[in-house]
Chain A
Amino acid sequence: MDLITFASLSVILVAQEAPDTRPSDAETVARDYMAAYSEMDLDRMEHFLSEDAVFTDRTALGEDVGPDGLMYESRDAAMGMLREFDAQYQPIELGFVWDTIYESNGRVVFMGHVNALYPTQDASQNYRWRAEQVTVITVRDGQVIRHQDFANYANPQRGLVPAN
């Protein structure tokens, strides 16, 4: 049996079964983890990460960013980066809105936008940074072992918006 057979037979069988719309365990973990990320609830995020979790952003841009983007190769390193970001910019939220989420082989894919809000000196206004984003979360044994962001850093929408 070759790959053609997989494509033409196995997929047909899989596709013709009644769809199971229940999220997988991996998807449930990833959704909860990403909800914490969206709210910048870092303590809750950390709870989901394995000790050797890898956090990457290969679309990152900046003077200190190399051609392979950003990579943090442990939970401590990733959380250290996120806590530094939180302390420096004090985001209110990252405000993810996902229009497609799916899971295959422990990889949970989120497709949508980031709508990050930051406070300004004017309490009636927030600064919003909005861009397209894909995030892929790999879950093994109930823990997040890999977090990969791909965001449109090159062409975000930026501006002031009313605070609530």
Chain B
Amino acid sequence: MLNLLTLTTAVLANAGLAADQPAGSIEIAQAYIAAYERQDFEAMREFMADDAVFTDPTSFDLAFVREPIHWTGADEILAGVSAWNVARGEYHLDRVYEAAGRVVFDASMDVFYATSEGERGFRYPIVTIVTVENGLVTEHRDYTGFNDMAPILDAETNQ
């Protein structure tokens, strides 16, 4: 199982930083998001504080979202995320910045589902705000453009 030190060291190495430097909020958030993209739930768990919250207020009260996306604690969060059955996700970042421990990812996101007919992908705009406190993720907050979701054509997947 990967642990935070391993992941942080890997992130710092990838970022070209010295391994003995403490990881900042932005590096921790980026490593967490990378695990989220891979749907690597054990790696995600290592980043989460015990009382971490995963929420998406844009999902509340939408008829086609059966339950609001608002989970507390790693077990509930990972059960919820894994139930989507997403094979992988890719953030296409416009901007990443951090202030006061909140790391803001301005992006569009591609998600890919493995289906019996092959992989199907969808793209939508998203803002993800990851709050990092004491080296751990305490909140993953999404604002998803559910109304702007569009299928990804095969030719687009390599862009």
Listed in ascending order, the chain A residues whose CB lies under 8 Å from chain B are 1-4, 6-8, 10-12, 14-16, 19, 24, 58-61, 65, 67, 69, 99-100, 102-105, 107, 109, 111, 131-132, 134, 136, 138, 150-155
Contacts and interface: CB of A to CB of B under 8 A. Distances in A.
Interface in B105-159: 106, 113, 115, 120, 122, 125, 127, 129, 131, 133, 143-151
A150 B86 contact: no
Contact of A4 (B85, B129, B144): B85
Contact of B100 (A60, A103, A111, A131): A60
A105 B97 contact: no
Contacts of A109: 58, 125, 127, 143, 145
B63 to A, nearest CB: 9
B57 A107 contact: yes
Contacts, number: 128
Given A104-B143, A104-B147, A134-B129, 10 more contacts: A11-B64, A12-B151, A15-B151, A19-B150, A107-B58, A111-B125, A136-B57, A150-B102, A150-B129, A152-B99
B120 A100 contact: no
Interface of B: 57-62, 64-67, 80, 83-86, 94-95, 97-102, 104, 106, 113, 115, 120, 122, 125, 127, 129, 131, 133, 143-151
A102 B97 contact: no
Contacts of A132: 95, 97, 104, 106
Contacts of A151: 99
A3 B84 contact: yes
Query: Which of A10, A61, A65, A131 neighbours the largest number of chain B CB atoms within 10 Å of its CB?
Result: A10
Contacts of A131: 97
A145 to B, nearest CB: 12
B122 A105 contact: no
Contacts of B102: 58-59, 150
Contacts of B115: 8
B98 A104 contact: no
The 3 closest A-B pairs by CB, nearest first: A104-B58, A59-B99, A10-B64
Given A19-B150, A99-B94, A12 B120 contact: yes
A6 to B, nearest CB: 6
Contact of B97 (A4, A16, A61, A154): A154
Contacts of B98: 152, 154
Given A4-B84, A100-B94, A111-B127, A11 B149 contact: yes
A16 B151 CA distance: 7
A152 B57 contact: no
Contacts of B95: 111, 132
